[in-house]
Structure 1
Amino acid sequence: MISPHADMWVWSLPFTKVSLDTFMKGSSIPYPAHSANTTRANDDPSSVVSCGDMKMEHEAPFPKDRARIAVIRRHWMIVPRRYAYWSGLICFFLGFMCSTAWNARSTVSLRNYIHMTALSLHHPPPPTVLVTGGLGFIGSHVVEDLTQHGFHVVVMDDMSNGRNFDVARNASAVLLKDITHLNDFSAISTRIDYVVHLAAAISVVESISQPDKYHHVNVDGSRHVLEWAKRHKVKRVVAASTSSIYGDVSAELMPLKEESATGGISPYATTKFDMEHLMEAYSANGLPTTALRIFNVYGPRQDPSSPHSGVVSYFMDQAFLGTDGRLEITGDGEQYRDFIYVKDVAVAIRLAMLSSDPHFDAFNVCTGTKTTINALAQEILETCASGAAIEYKERRPGDVRESVCDPTKAEVKLGFAAQYSYEDGIAATWAWILDRRRRRRRE
């Protein structure tokens, strides 16, 4: 029997039959019957209380009502009205589990059912991360790292810099959308906890001939991402910046610290520097943001056929050709870089995403070790056992001569330090190149 009193639902055991429609729809249920000598009859409309809009005094107006309520309080289980609906659902769910667990054919014990239910009640679902550019080189490794650590991932990508769908299959959703189109963000139907913003136009050389394109994608597109994240109360936005924003700094100022950024010497670097200023402005208005100045990344899935590809994948692609290959080095080859393996970058992004600092900050993502391009070429030729030749060409506009960073700030504030050595990273990348070639031959 279900009987209302004040703001409580009263459940009696054993239950008398009450129709499900009556219970769920909030239809009127008679108050406990009065004896014949009371002033109200059971069919008096005033003795009927609606479950949907019940509001009663804590003390019943008639003595016999008060007596019955006293009995109810002593012998019945009283459940607050606001919990009645969920209590009913939980009872139904537990009953279903018990009936299934006791089935002779069931292979799962009741203990396991109860354990799984307790876990679902006490452990909320994992956070969901939106990764823009998640089909690209770095993005695909970020998606892989996040899913391996239990995060749900939604990928947003226009396929301009990569199509790594084999990795994206582990994502909760893949949206083929463009960050420069504000309406495309309406396709995101899932509650997003964090944003990793990697979508960008990425070529230093192309940016010189198409500066408007780079401003549109890297500045306007980033503004769309930040505005959407602020409107949907995202916990943090982590965006990929670049080491190019330090410009062509003299060797005396190496290794580069975060406060040394000047904006760079190419439109690409300028747009990334402008993006950082946008992030700082949004952070001042309540959206936590972090910029990661990623140095020279290399590793699996960096497409050597792309005109925007890094030097490591390009050299390896040429080394694979043997004596027919040509490792073209711009300049004299004594310029040096700070090379970092892509899986280390993915870890840095995850650590930055989980930071509790509410303010904007920028971090170098690097190893702190410098390597000349000549040394890189020789290392690759030896690893690949290649007879390819080295050729020198004129230095490209927009290229900096020296670049190596100080990783201390990321180590202290994010707990990040690169784990892959230069030699191990080169070997792992070469193994991927070989495997990729073999798979293509089989296809």
Structure 2
Amino acid sequence: MSDTASPIETAPPRNLRQRAADVIAECRLLAAMSEEPGRLTRRFLTPPVKEVHAHLRRRMIVLGMTVWVDAVGNLRGLWNPEGSTGKRLVLGSHIDTVPDAGAFDGVLGVVLALELVRSAAELSIPYPIEVIAFSEEEGVRFGVPFLGSRAVAGRFDPALLALQDTEGVTLEKSIRDFGLDPRDMDAAKLDENTFGFFEIHIEQGPVLEAEILQLAAVTAIAGQSRFHVTFSGQANHAGTTPMRLRHDALTAAAEWILAVESEVRRYAARHEAELVATAGKIEAKPNASNVIPGLVKVTLDVRSDRDFVRQIVVEELLAQGEAIASRRGVRFVAEQKMDQPAVSMDEELTALLAEALGGAGFPVRRMPSGAGHDAMVMATRVPSTMLFLRTPGAISHHPDESVMETDVEAALRVSEVFLKRLTFKSL
């Protein structure tokens, strides 16, 4: 277990720029707590999670917070100022990672949350602040994301305890091996006096950088439709089968994939909507250079912050798949794997966050998130909002993931203004 002192914990009084530099150093320090030497991989309730907990626990204690770990492994700390109103704000993000990850996805939001507790004490914020380091957002170990936030939002299905990882370890056993009791899951639910949830996260995309902006208030988290699509034709000899007599599954799939791109661009322009679609994985059989492909499997991922647009375009894309297959003498089958509605951030909290952007002297940019975050689960239980930071090079889920010191400083400045503006909401 690491006994390395926190750069923030040991720092003298600092200006915002120095505080931002210390936040970045803290994230890089935590990135060394990994399952694999030389690269960051930290899955749900693996030993490095205990290291991160120990490190963050020390920080919470120094800040005067009450600290505990709930039944799904979320590390939680409560700062309760003298004479508080009782209604609390929750800050946080996740500490698990994808394999070979970057240092800032999720963890930045946790480290910034603790820094904001320090700010709250300096600013005499009157309401309690709870910080949650969610144990599982990515879904890498057990194939199901948001286990930590599901428990906090009261949406944890006990059937999930039977899930197994690649080594055959059940979710229930992993919780018990971590020293926790899954029978205490109900106690993980959010305190009834919580008035809001605020998550700070890197954008993980190119929009802010392309617009030369540092920050944005998140308006919604996009809904997702995912399908496994199959084109079934007839495998045959590549040299002896005339072009007019072929039932080529791959050429049908190729035509459809191009149609996906063109249709989505057209619908996005027509509805002025944030809409994207991806055919991200393709498998052709028999996958031989001298055989006409007889079977092709393709994945389809459609996302939008407006559900009716997403549903319209999905229907059109599936209809086009049927038409293309029929014309080419092949069969088209689509199996739906996900239908996740868009989740809107709370209008009042997001308006206050936008006001904080302007009040701190930054352009007021609002944007949806194309990726899922813990805030989308928390929003089902409590008013929630998010602040995005620019992602240099749009690189995330990769060791080259980074943040700019000036952007972290900007996030601190805006978040402090936001905390002040929330005072009346806590009354």
For Structure 1 versus Structure 2, the TM-score category normalised by the shorter chain is under 0.3
TM-score, structure 1 as length reference = 0.26
Larger strand share, 1 or 2? 2
Q: Which has the higher contact order (CA 8 A, sep 6+)?
A: 2
Is the radius of gyration larger for structure 1 or structure 2?
1
Normalized against structure 2, the TM-score is what? 0.27
